[in-house]
Amino acid sequence: MDRAKKTIAQVGEFGFIRSVMMNCVHAPEKVIQGIGDDCAVIGPYEDRVLLITTDLLVEDVHFLRGKISFRELGAKAVAVNLSDIAAMGGIPRHLFVSLAIPRRMPVEDLSELDAGMKDMCRTYGVNLLGGDTSASQGGLFINVTVIGEADAKAVLYRKGASSGDRVYVTGTVGNAGAGLRLLQEELIAHDDLREALIAAHNRPRPRLEQGRLIAGSMLASSMIDISDGLLSDLGHICEESGVGARIFEERLPLSDELKALCRVNSLDPSEMALSGGEDYELLFTVPVKNAESLEALLQRHGHLFFEIGRITEGKSIRVVLAGGTEKEVTPSGFDHFAPAKRSPCPPSPCIRFSPDD
């Protein structure tokens, strides 16, 4: 009797990725890092390595037409890839883009998309060198690949965190996730507040200068960009490093805009900061002996940073609430193949508290 074949929905996005991670490298020379980090790392070539990253944006999955301008969409498609380069401490150099375009899509919209991409490339000195185009029978598909470089000795990976390390983030968190929920008409806000938070979602800025400074200092132990949500991405660092973490709710950097939105909608801003995705700030860990030196370096260059927690032994991630109570959490990022939700766009990842809490 034939057994029913498992579907991708049953396996899940991350289960599928884990299933294909083995037996990928057949010519290992020069392959330093493959699947499992923000970028693949290839080299070294003298004292430098290549960083390569790619991201796919799909209409009605990653964006809704009419909720973001095409110029913003083009810039964002580039920015999210540059953020991966930032998370490894690199410099972006070259970009390739492939588009699958609906036949009835206005050329004017495509021109705006192109202008947004070139705006972002110009800002960060990146060359757009080619790609591919195809017709789409569905919506618009945008695939961007960026090639960067870094000092071979200064690349920061997700792995590397150790018990006792301090956990930092480069800026406020939760604004982009709040902006998404406003776009989905789940929350209410006055016009100025709504505009500011939606801008955080639609117009991210990669922290390239901060990433190079942190990695180049040789003082940090691991780093990742916050794309899926603070807890979800911290979970990636913990998994790759074989450690746990403790995050202090009272230390989370919350913007005045996020606090105001949560007051109006009777929500907890800390929960939104922990679970909201697409902030594209950098989350990094630093051994205690190096913390003072790295803090001073960031201060000298005028960069924001916030210490929010500690790396711990074991594999659990716990949040210390304002009253001192600790809650173990299971961060869950967006899964493309999970059962359909109310909205076609990725929701903020959820925080699941342990059953015994």
Least Cα distance to 85 among 49, 56, 115 occurs for 49
Residue range 96-147, pLDDT digits in tens: 999 999 999 999 999 999 999 999 999 999 999 999 999 999 999 999 999 9
Give residue 13's pLDDT: 65
- Residue 24 is encoded by which pair of tokens? 């990928």
Give residue 85's pLDDT: 98
Pairwise CA distance, residues 152 & 218, whole Å:
12
Instruction: Tell me if residue 282 falls in helix, strand or coil.
Output: strand
Question: Which residues 6+ apart lie within 8 Å of 206 measured at CB?
Answer: 79, 80, 82, 83, 85, 86, 124, 225, 280
Pairwise CA distance, residues 120 & 202, whole Å:
13
DSSP letter (8 states) at residue 60? T
Torsions phi, psi for 342 (to 5 deg): -65, -35
Torsions phi, psi for 114 (to 5 deg): -60, -40
Torsions phi, psi for 350 (to 5 deg): -95, 160
Give residue 22's pLDDT: 77
| Range(s) of the chain covered by CATH 3.90.650.10 | 166-353
Strand partners, 15: none
DSSP letter (8 states) at residue 249? G
Pairwise CA distance, residues 224 & 234, whole Å:
8
Torsions phi, psi for 112 (to 5 deg): -65, -40
The CATH class of the 27-151 domain is alpha beta
166-353: CATH architecture: Alpha-Beta Complex (3.90)
| Helix or strand (DSSP H, E) at 92 | strand 91-102
Give residue 339's pLDDT: 57
The answer to whether residues 144 and 211 touch, using CB atoms and an 8 Å cutoff, is no
| Range(s) of the chain covered by CATH 3.30.1330.10 | 27-151
Amino acid at 9: A
The list of the chain residues with pLDDT below 70 reads 1-3, 12-15, 17, 332-357
Torsions phi, psi for 260 (to 5 deg): -65, -45
Give residue 75's pLDDT: 98
